[in-house]
Amino acid sequence: MAEKIVQTAGRDSLGEFAPEFAHFNDDVLFGENWNNQDIDVKTRSISFQNGIKHFQRM
């Protein structure tokens, strides 16, 4: 089993300025998506990249 990745960069850098982005970055993309062992690595990578692309358009 792979070690769980805990991401806090969004919260550390933008937590007060953009709390929703920090939540999405740290908790959803890295927490729920990246650490989900039920999804293969390729699918997790594609999902992660699409999440980042979505925020670049906002």
Neighbours of 6 (CB within 10 A): 9
Residues 6 or more apart whose CB falls under 8 angstroms from that of 10 comprise 21, 22, 23, 24, 25, 26
Which alpha helices (H) appear in 1-58, and where do they start and end? 9-14, 19-23, 41-57
Q: What was the pLDDT predicted at 29?
A: 74
Task: Report which residue type is found at 43.
Answer: T
Q: Mean pLDDT in the chain?
A: 76
Of 57, 1, 12, 50, give the one whose Cα is nearest residue 28: 50
Comparing 16 with 8, the larger pLDDT belongs to 16
18-40 confidence digits (pLDDT tens): 788 788 777 777 777 777 788 88
